[in-house]
Structure formats: structure tokens, C-alpha cells
A and B are shown apart, each in its own frame.
Chain A
């Protein structure tokens, strides 16, 4: 087991190293002089030359990469040309909001997806099964930003149930910072009104991200439940008079968990990129909106950092998923170590 985890970690490090090389290469190959972009069109030739030297742009590509990667490993991602602050400061400021959004949406899809899948599987070929199938087809086919627009229109503008933008209402004082997750922080501080407000703000953006996952997960769970309901051991449970609910939750959900974990892990990482547009629609002050802003402003240092952070998040999630799956399913663990 330990050997498998180490192998898996080494593999991710190699991939991340490759990704850093790729993104650095792309950033340097692109037309335009980074020093000139940084200083603006008013700077003199001398100033540009000096900055080029400072940024090691006058050296060959491998040397440039060496200087860059060593400072990245020291935690220095350079200065954002757009916000004029160190990129790491910016990232620290923006990542919690996105993390809160994604975690909330993840929980949402986990709970709703499982419940929908169990009900659809148990009452298969009923009207509910048909409805859940319809939701799945439409949910998978609707891009997150389109879903965001639809939800905004219906729940905010027509039904007037939820606020349109931000993490809290304008001017509302945020709770004392502990976890940087507003909902958790306000609960810790005992400010239930603030927590409720934050909850109302997060529901729509989280739902926009969650719908596709709910759809996917609901189908997986449904298929698994429907298949396993036919098995002999379930019949035995019925004969022994074991309550249906306990059969479902104790025995039927487990086999469906393995594909769910794999799919959800990947989906969780993908949400980071779909959050790009959802955060724009809801003016959510998070990492993804920052990412889009720096990209549109051709802020090279920040773009490279953003891609690296997402790559890092992606591989961390992938490693966790692989480890969890190998715990759930001994076949995976044994096969990989053996081979």
C-alpha cells in the first residue's frame, strides 16, 4: 500500500514538473516582450533592457527556466503586472472564496445526487425515475455558465428568493476571520443571521456548478442500485425481514461508492475551471474570477501561477481519489502493486 502511494506521488511530481515546463515554454514563446508588456508603452528602451536583465530574459531558455522554477519552489511566483502585488498574496486572498464555493457545491451534489440515485434506482421505471433521467440529460448538457444564467433569472429575478451577487450583501460586516469560509466563520462566531445570509448567497453559484455532477452521480448510483436490487443477497434480506432502508444504506450504496468517488474526484477538480465563468456571473470574489481577470490582462506571471495552482489542485485530488479508491476496492490496490 505504502509503495503504491509513493509511486503515485512520484508520478504526480513528474507530471507537475512537466506542466511547469510546458506553461513556461508557452509563456515565453508567445509573441510580445514580457518586459515591454510589464512597463507599458511609455517606458524607455533602457528601462526595458534593465528589466529584461532583471527578469533574466537575455539568457537562453533553460537558464530562464532554472531561475524561474527555483524561485517558484521558494514560494515566489513573481509580481502580478495587473494588481502590482506579489502573486502569492493575491492567491491567498482569493483562493478561500473559491474553495468554499466548490466544497459547498461538492457537498450539494453528493447529497442530492445520492438521494436522487437511490430513489430512482429503488423506484425504477416510475415517474420519478423518468424525471431524474430527464434532469440528468439536461444537467449534463448544460454548461455551468448557462445554468448560472438560468438559475439567476428564475430564482433571483422572477421568484426574488436569492441575492444576485457576492458572498454577503453590500456593506454587511464579514465575521471574524478564522477559516476564511464565511459560513463556517459566522457559525463559529455565533452570528447566525450572517451565516444564513452567506448561505443564501452561495446557493445559486454552487448549484450552477453542482447540476452536472448531480446528473452524473445520480445515474451512476441509480444503475448500481437497480442492478444490485436483483441480487440474491437482497432477496435474503427481504426474507429475513431486515428493513429496506438499512439494506439500501448499509449494503446497496457501498458498491456504487467506487465509481462515484472516481467520478466525483475528477468532477471536483474540473469545477475549478467551470467556476471561472460562474464566478463571473455571480461576481464571486474568488480565485477563478481573479484567474479570468489576469488572463484577459495578459498578466504573464499571474497566468503561469494560476495554471500551476490548478494543475497542483488537480494532481492532489487525483492522488487522493486513487488512494481512496484503492482502500475501497482491494482489487485495485493488489493489482497495481503486483504489476
Chain B
């Protein structure tokens, strides 16, 4: 490659400006809709104590005179068997779902990314083999199964649920980053950094990592929905947020026992789960269009 070609290559790698990115993202109205719903859910969840009409209903509150009321203007989603406002409980349930997604992704992405970088950089060495085989082992079972087994053995609560899911999640990022790193390993910018004596940390974190940012961000958004699904599934069996705190999955499980007459107890929390996952997926799709990320 001549100097001129190198210069052109460097210039074309400039970051996509924000307005251009937004243009691409907003060309799909569904992505924008997803973003709006998602932001709404986040705001509602963060400010739950101020927004929920009956914030005290998110705990061990009972009022049997108002139990099992159908949806009305007072109680948008009706009340449950002990008279708690389902709408307020859904809002607080969102809190736990979002905390779960944030903690799981926060705990699992950094180790996954770092192992992926190392595995991809040290190609054809024992380091690569060790890392990738361990990754394969974790990917040999659907995350729900091992997360379930681990949560049960530890004793069921939100904290252990988070730990168990995080333990199952890092391999996905390891594999993603590994694939990108392998493809970049012998690119000129990496070799040049090696020749100029840059440290391994610099090469991995400053040269290679930025190229993984877009796929990681996209996968993160799509995964948030997936993590919430796994979390809701675990709490559906009673292995998540413990009552009286409201978990969306737990609410669906409790409500399912009251079908069909008191349908609102299961249907609204269930719709709430679909809504948050759907909005994460729509935003993820938009990001994929924006970065033009290829599936790995």
C-alpha cells in the first residue's frame, strides 16, 4: 500500500457523524417508535415512586375490600387478589427487569470482550484454544437451563439470578469480538502498531477494540430484550424477584392461576414484558441499519 492509499484508508475510517447516524436510524419509523417506547419505559421505571399512582402497592400492601377489581379509571390494569394496583406493580416490575438487563450486560460484556480480544489476537496459540474451547462449553447449553440450575443451587433471589445469567452471557460477546479480532489481526494498522513497539494493551484496546464498538452496541440492545426474557422466565418459576416485590414474570405466573375470569392480573404484566422486549428489538434493528452491521 502506498502512502496515498494509507491516507485514504485512514480518512474513510472516520467516525460516522451523529446526524448521519440519526438519519439512517430514523429512516425506519418502527425503530423510532421503539426508541420512544423504550425511553418512556426507562423514565417511568426510574421515577417509579413518583409516577406510579399507588407506590406503596409495590410491597406487602393489602386491602381486601379492593381485591380483584377489573380495570377502571382508578386502576388502569385492575387490582390483584390482595387489592394491590396492578399498574403500579408493573411499573415497579419494569425497574427490576431493567436493573437485571443493566447488571447482566455490565458484568458479562467486559470479560467477554477482553477474552475475545485476547483469543483473536493470539491466533493459533494455546491461549486461543483454551479461551475458545471454554466458550464452546458455555455455549453448549441454552443459557436458560444453566442459569436455572445455578440459581436454584445458590438459592433463588434477584441477586443470584443476576449472577447466574451473567455467568452464562459472556461467551456470546467473547465469540463476537473474537470473530472481529481474527479478521483484523493482520491488517496493516495492527501490524504497524506492533512494529512501532506499542504495548499489547494499546493494540488490543486502542487499535482493535474501537472496531468492535458498533457490533457490540447493536448486540447489547438486542440482548437486553433477551436477558429480560430469561429473567422473566426464571421469575415465572419463582426464581427471581421474591414477593412481595413485583417481578413481571412472577406476576404473570400468579395471574395465570386466575384465568380466565380475572384475566387482567396475567394479561397486563404479560403485555408489559412483550412491550419492553419489542422496543429493545426495534431499537436494535435500527442500530443495525445505522451501523450496517453484519450478523456474526
Contacts and interface: CB of A to CB of B under 8 A. Distances in A.
Classify the secondary structure of A's interface with B: helix
19 contacts: A11-B136, A15-B137, A16-B140, A18-B134, A18-B137, A19-B137, A19-B140, A22-B137, A32-B153, A137-B281, A143-B229, A145-B232, A149-B252, A150-B270, A157-B260, A277-B237, A281-B256, A298-B152, A303-B152
B147 to A, nearest CB: 10
A152 interface: yes
Nearest to A152: B259
Interface string B142-173: 10111011101110000000000000000000
A280 interface: yes
A321 to B, nearest CB: 14
Contacts of A43: none
Contacts of A149: 252, 256, 259, 266-267, 270
A145 B236 contact: yes
Contact of B149 (A26, A142, A153): A26
Given A140-B281, A270-B142, A295-B149, A157 B259 contact: yes
A4 interface: no
B270 A146 contact: yes
B76 interface: no
A239 to B, nearest CB: 35
A315 B133 CA distance: 14
B143 to A, nearest CB: 8
Given A22-B137, A295-B149, A310-B142, A137 B277 contact: no
B274 A314 contact: no
A145 B229 CA distance: 10
Contact of B133 (A14, A140, A291): A14
B252 A307 contact: no
Given A16-B140, A18-B137, A307-B149, A280 B237 contact: yes
Interface residues of A, number: 49
Interface of B: 30, 133-134, 136-138, 140-142, 144-146, 148-150, 152-154, 225, 229, 232-233, 236-238, 249, 252, 256, 259-260, 263, 266-267, 270, 273-274, 277-278, 281-282
Nearest to A299: B152
A137 B30 CA distance: 10
A315 B259 CA distance: 38
B260 A311 contact: no
Interface of A: 11, 14-16, 18-19, 22-23, 26-27, 30-32, 137-138, 140-143, 145-146, 149-150, 152-153, 157-158, 269-270, 272-274, 276-277, 280-281, 291-292, 295-296, 298, 300, 303, 306-307, 310-311, 314-315
A200 B204 CA distance: 57
Nearest to B266: A149
B77 to A, nearest CB: 15
Contact of A26 (B133, B153, B232, B270): B153
Contact of B274 (A22, A138, A296, A310): A138
Given A30-B154, A140-B281, A19 B237 contact: no
B286 to A, nearest CB: 12
Contact of A296 (B142, B152, B154): B152
A30 B270 CA distance: 33
Given A137-B281, A141-B225, A149-B252, A295 B141 contact: no
Given A18-B134, A141-B225, A149-B266, A158 B260 contact: yes
Contact of B278 (A138, A274, A281): A138
A314 B146 CA distance: 13
B52 to A, nearest CB: 22
B142 A314 contact: yes
Contact of A273 (B142, B153, B154, B249): B142
A281 B229 CA distance: 16
A280 B238 CA distance: 12
